[in-house]
């Protein structure tokens, strides 16, 4: 039986370290969150750390052990689950008195929650017997938040054994991570992000843990993180044909988000949500038909009714009004709030120095970078200790990272075996090549800068957790990269968990910029800037393909602007002044868009 959700929001995955132990921090309060299971080395470190904190036995799982990656993940997830279960039991047993965790649990609930109404009725009761009855009823309704996990599908390196021979496909990074989750005690979901991975999807179809039991119940579920309807439709059909049901489509803004950013050809969040709202029933009907056919083929009884499907949205949400509008107007089942929780020490694993930088950062300090070795735009914070380390290594004549973990190796430009573009090996070879070319000084400097920009995300996105757990690791581990969404520019206060949850529900105001634009305006601005920058970067090698692609991108933005203009009057919870400001901002961005020239291939050739 699935636990009911007591909150309307969840905390999405953040980096490698920032939400690695978030369930231990917040799940007992009914808040769902997501752990990254990409880095088994970090996971093993965290298992040792939390085993010590909670007096649990710890037996190391060595890289030389069979299936060590999957086993490390299983062991850590089981430990997190045990800790959360004990926390919930202690919370249930605590007294209803000021400062207790059980009071904190109920007072953080949304004002519209049925549980908060029962709680408020209980605290007004004076009769001891009646009060005790209501207290017991409340205790029985306490449920923890979900402990979900994330697999970035593109991070799927093929591995070798101790004899250097290539291991079978099921020992690749993504497949081993999935196996670690399926073998765990968790009854929760795996969040698949970054698109289609045929090898992973085929493997999932062979995992009985994702199939319904005799009662039609799914112990292990799948959440698909998508940036548009088409992606949901294609991936949903592929998985349904394998007997895998998508329990949630988690829609994320292409650019107004943290971490890796996946631009959506100019299709904006509002039109995407509108398409989901309009086509949801058709999508689910088609997926259900494919799902039932796959179950019959496997000899599994088809559930009498279709499994539930949730639609949620995340990326750039900043106010309670925006949150409620998304849920009510687009009929989504929940929202995701990520980057603001980086300012909440109770919720995320961020070192003090980095958290202070986030709290004092200005709007221009948040930018879309080329720092990721995956070649995907990456949300970044200027002058992080990771960026400082990149500059320092270059100045010392030792650019690049030692590349110990090798999760992101993919480049074969200079080597037979793939290496990482952030590695010392690759950057030395690439810089030597560039310096041998007859390039103008300005062009050479630009190309060198693009090489040096790559960050060792394997190490630097994990470093905060090592710092906070007082790791004795090498200094190389202590440079922190952080990947907040640009929306964090409007938050500048290190907050308590109660304050941030109160902000989400409209009880507290944490925005430090009173005139913050609507999330749809911010998203449009990011897309206009992205279009302008991408055209500028490609001018030297402009082709008919670029002309067609960016022409379509701009046309989609123009359609999105027309949609948003019609949407503004429906923002009834906002003031007239707010709606008028939003309309003017849309017009300004529309003018900026019109001024962007899509070069003609013929003109470029003539020049």
Q: Tell me, what's the pLDDT at 18?
A: 98
| Contact between residue 272 and residue 230 where contact means Cβ atoms under 8 Å apart | no
Provide the pLDDT confidence category of residue 304 given band limits of 50, 70 and 90. Answer: confident
Provide the pLDDT confidence category of residue 2 given band limits of 50, 70 and 90. Answer: low
For residue 468, the surrounding DSSP H or E stretch is: helix 463-468
User: 101 burial class (0-12, 13-18, 19+ CB within 10 angstroms)?
Assistant: middle
SS3 479: coil
Q: Tell me the per-residue pLDDT of 123-135, one tens digit each, with 9 for 90 and over.
A: 999 999 999 999 9
Look up the domain containing 594 and give its range.
517-607
Q: Mean pLDDT, to the nearest integer, of 243-249?
A: 98
Q: Mean pLDDT, to the nearest integer, of 392-410?
A: 95
Q: Tell me, what's the pLDDT at 214?
A: 87
Q: Tell me, what's the pLDDT at 598?
A: 95
List phi, psi (to 5°) of 446.
Answer: -60, -45
Percent of the chain with pLDDT over 70: 97
| Contact between residue 253 and residue 523 where contact means Cβ atoms under 8 Å apart | yes
> Does 476 score more than 50 pLDDT?
no
The residues, any chain, with a CB within 8 Å of residue 495's CB and separated by 6 or more, are 340, 343, 344, 503, 510
Give the pairing of strands 147-152 and 32-36: parallel
DSSP states of 109-151 = S-TT-HHHHHHHHHHT---HHHHHHHHHHHHHT--PPPEEEEE
- Tell me, yes or no, whether 402 lies in a domain: no
Q: Mean pLDDT, to the nearest integer, of 444-463?
A: 96
Q: Tell me the per-residue pLDDT of 503-542, one tens digit each, with 9 for 90 and over.
A: 999 999 999 887 899 999 999 999 999 999 999 999 988 9
- Tell me, yes or no, whether 194 lies in a domain: no
Q: Tell me, what's the pLDDT at 606?
A: 40
- Tell me, yes or no, whether 432 lies in a domain: no
User: 434 burial class (0-12, 13-18, 19+ CB within 10 angstroms)?
Assistant: middle
Q: Tell me, what's the pLDDT at 1?
A: 46
Residue at a domain's end among 118, 145, 172? 145
- Tell me, yes or no, whether 32 lies in a domain: yes
Q: Tell me, what's the pLDDT at 3?
A: 65
> Does 200 score more than 80 pLDDT?
yes
Q: Tell me, what's the pLDDT at 381?
A: 97
Give the pairing of strands 246-252 and 221-226: parallel
SS (H, E, C) 41-72: HHHHHHHHHHHHHCCCCCCCCCCCCCCHHHHH
Q: Mean pLDDT, to the nearest integer, of 245-271?
A: 96
Provide the pLDDT confidence category of residue 461 given band limits of 50, 70 and 90. Answer: very high
Residue at a domain's end among 107, 123, 145? 145
- Tell me, yes or no, whether 576 lies in a domain: yes
- Tell me, yes or no, whether 443 lies in a domain: no
- Tell me, yes or no, whether 322 lies in a domain: no
The total number of structural domains that make up the chain: 2
Q: Tell me the per-residue pLDDT of 339-396, one tens digit each, with 9 for 90 and over.
A: 999 999 999 999 999 999 999 999 999 999 999 999 999 999 999 999 999 999 999 9
SS3 252: strand
Q: Tell me, what's the pLDDT at 604?
A: 45
Q: Tell me, what's the pLDDT at 321?
A: 97
Q: Tell me, what's the pLDDT at 515?
A: 87
Residue at a domain's end among 145, 173, 204? 145
Q: Mean pLDDT, to the nearest integer, of 187-196?
A: 96
> Does 472 score more than 50 pLDDT?
no
- Tell me, yes or no, whether 401 lies in a domain: no
Q: Mean pLDDT, to the nearest integer, of 459-487?
A: 82
């Amino acid at each position: 039986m699935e636990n009911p959700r007591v909150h309307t929001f969840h905390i999405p995955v953040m980096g490698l370290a920032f939400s690695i132990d978030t369930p231990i921090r917040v799940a007992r309060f009914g808040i769902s969150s997501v752990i990254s299971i990409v880095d088994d080395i970090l996971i093993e470190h965290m298992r040792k750390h939390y085993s010590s904190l909670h007096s649990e036995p710890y037996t190391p799982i060595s890289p030389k052990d069979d299936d060590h990656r999957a086993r490390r993940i299983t062991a850590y997830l089981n430990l997190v689950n045990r800790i959360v279960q004990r926390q919930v039991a202690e919370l249930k047993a605590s007294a209803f008195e000021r400062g207790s965790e059980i009071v904190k649990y109920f007072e953080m609930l949304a004002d519209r929650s049925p549980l908060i109404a029962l709680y408020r009725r209980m605290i007004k009761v004076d009769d001891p017997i009646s009060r005790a009855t209501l207290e017991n009823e409340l205790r029985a309704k306490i449920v923890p938040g979900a402990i979900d996990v994330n697999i970035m599908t593109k991070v799927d390196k093929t591995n070798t054994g101790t004899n250097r021979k290539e291991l079978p496909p099921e020992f690749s990074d993504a497949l081993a991570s999935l196996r670690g989750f399926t073998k765990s005690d968790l009854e929760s979901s795996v969040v698949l992000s970054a698109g289609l991975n045929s090898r992973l999807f085929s493997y999932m179809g062979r995992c009985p843990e994702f199939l319904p039991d005799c009662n039609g119940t799914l112990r292990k579920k799948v959440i698909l993180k998508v940036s548009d309807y088409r992606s949901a439709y294609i991936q949903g059909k592929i998985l349904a044909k394998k007997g895998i049901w998508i329990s949630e489509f988690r829609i994320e803004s292409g650019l107004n988000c943290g971490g890796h950013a996946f631009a959506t050809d100019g299709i904006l969040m509002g039109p995407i949500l509108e398409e989901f709202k309009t086509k949801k029933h058709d999508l689910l009907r088609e997926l259900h038909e494919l799902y039932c056919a796959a179950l019959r083929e496997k000899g599994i009884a088809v559930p009498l009714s279709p499994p539930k499907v949730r639609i949620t949205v995340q990326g750039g949400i900043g106010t309670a009004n925006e949150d409620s509008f998304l849920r009510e107007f687009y009929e989504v089942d929940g929202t995701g709030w990520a980057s603001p929780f980086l300012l909440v020490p109770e919720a995320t694993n961020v070192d003090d120095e980095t958290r202070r930088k986030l709290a004092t950062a200005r709007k221009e300090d948040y930018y879309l970078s080329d720092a990721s070795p995956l070649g995907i735009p990456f949300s970044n914070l200027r002058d992080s200790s990771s960026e400082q380390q990149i500059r320092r290594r270059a100045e010392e004549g030792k650019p690049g990272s030692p590349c110990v973990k090798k999760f992101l190796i993919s480049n074969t430009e200079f080597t037979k075996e793939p290496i990482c573009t952030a590695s010392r090996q690759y950057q030395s070879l690439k810089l030597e090549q560039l310096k041998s070319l007859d390039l103008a000084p300005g062009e050479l400097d630009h190309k060198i800068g693009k090489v040096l920009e790559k960050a060792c995300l394997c190490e630097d996105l994990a470093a905060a957790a090592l710092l906070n757990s007082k790791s004795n690791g090498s200094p190389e581990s202590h440079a922190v990269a952080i990947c907040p969404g640009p929306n964090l520019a409007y938050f500048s206060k290190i907050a308590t968990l109660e304050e941030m949850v109160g902000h989400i529900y409209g009880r507290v105001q944490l925005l430090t910029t009173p005139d913050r634009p609507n999330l749809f305006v911010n998203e449009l601005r990011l897309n206009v800037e992205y279009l302008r920058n991408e055209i500028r970067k490609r001018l030297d090698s402009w082709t008919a393909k670029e002309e067609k692609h960016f022409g379509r991108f701009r046309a989609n933005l123009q359609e999105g602007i027309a949609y948003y203009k019609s949407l503004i009057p429906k923002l009834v919870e906002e003031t007239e002044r707010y709606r008028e400001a939003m309309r003017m901002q849309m017009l300004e961005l529309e003018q900026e868009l019109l001024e962007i020239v899509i070069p003609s291939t013929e003109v470029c050739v003539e020049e």
